[in-house]
Structure 1
Amino acid sequence: MGIFYEYFRAANRQVAVEKPDHSRVVAKPLPGFPAFDAVESKWFNPCDSLSKLIALIRNVPYSMDLVPTVELYPPPENAPKTDQELAALPEDSPYLVGPGIEELPVDVRDSLADVTDAELVELGERWAAEEGGDPESYSALVAELRDLARRARDEGQLLYCWNFG
């Protein structure tokens, strides 16, 4: 089993990390749990896949640092600092198995939000050629991420990535 990634929008970091053990993509939220506007992407990680997409959108060379994220959960200030501290963690520690939550930069949100309908097919084709997959699926994911980014920008929110696995 691999790592699963979900992109969502939130008003701030505090809201983004509420109930971190729970998926952000939920059809019917349970009482007492936050309801997020989210996109399930399964394999689409920020440092590699999203960086490739941002490179295509911006028409710049690919680099893994095009999407510098800020780790929010598990809290980086409590992260183990030595191999001994890491080895002493319980096997179900979020520092070992997740989940993780990262904040994406504003310029990434805005690059996604600025994608036009006319660009969707071409981006899907170019991205599929790089990743090896179905261009229609890639175009559909770009459209979902674009729409999420637009809603986030319209509400003055940021994008976040929740991962587990």
Structure 2
Amino acid sequence: MGALTDYFRAVDAASVVETLGRADGGSPLGAGPPVFDGVETKHVDPTVVLAMLIAAIRQVQWRVDLVEQVTVWPTSPVPGPDGPEDEDDPWVTGPWVSELDPLVRDTLAAVHDSEVPTIVARWVQAEELHGARAEDMQPVAAEIVLLARRALGADERLYCWMCL
């Protein structure tokens, strides 16, 4: 089982929460016209796979805190140290939405189109992308870069919607 991940841009977390509340947490890029400008991806979670793209861009080693993020959905209180009391708790079932640090947006937006193939060649060497081909991942990286440029140009933040 893999994670579905959608990256999108929005003015602020409040507008994201309001939109998700109307859609019962469903993807803002899902059925019907998308509410936000975004990119549908699969298995490109922000903590590992997107962070590996950021590491490839910056030419640094991946580390767990490379992509800083703040959870904005679910909005219910975070379960205590013993975990959630109910298996239907949204912290267990998802979906989850996080706001990415603006530095992530800026790093992606600064990538020149001509650099994408070289960056992707480094990115697909990651163990977590084992079997991924550069020619398949290049359009994904290019779309994320373009989304980041649009977000930067509009002074918006990047968000990741994820579910299992």
Which range moved further: 131-140 or 19-28?
Answer: 19-28
Q: What RMSD over aligned residues (CA atoms) do the two structures have, in Å?
A: 1.6
Tell me which of 94, 119, 124 is aligned to 2:90. 94
**Partner AA of 2:147 in structure 1:** L
* 2:26 aligned residue: 22
Q: Report 1:21-60 matches (<5 A).
A: 21-26=25-30, 28-29=32-33, 35-60=35-60
- Tell me if structure 1 keeps the 8 A contact 2:53–2:120: no
Q: Structure 1: how far apart are the matches of 2:111 and 2:134?
A: 16
| 1:44-90 CA distance string (max 9 Å, x none) | 011101111111101112112110110111126x112132x61x22x
Aligned length: 157
Q: Structure 2 length normalisation: TM-score?
A: 0.89
* 1:143 aligned residue: 142
Identify if the C-alpha distance between structure 1 residues 75 and 26 changes in structure 2 by more than 3 Å, giving closer, same or farther.
Answer: closer
Q: Report 1:71-86 matches (<5 A).
A: 71-75=71-75, 78-83=77-82, 86=84
Q: Structure 2: how far apart are the matches of 1:36 and 1:92?
A: 27
Unaligned runs of 5+ in 2: none
Give the fraction of aligned pairs with identical amino acids, expressed as a percent.
38
Give 1:129 shift.
2.0
Q: Structure 1: how far apart are the matches of 2:108 and 2:136?
A: 17
* 2:125 aligned residue: 129
- Tell me if structure 2 keeps the 8 A contact 1:12–1:158: yes
Give 1:163 shift.
0.6
- Tell me if structure 2 keeps the 8 A contact 1:124–1:137: no
Structure 1: 4+ residue segments shifted above 4 A? none
Q: Structure 1 length normalisation: TM-score?
A: 0.88
Give 1:117 shift.
1.0
**Partner AA of 2:28 in structure 1:** R
Q: Structure 2: how far apart are the matches of 1:124 and 1:27?
A: 30
**Partner AA of 2:60 in structure 1:** V
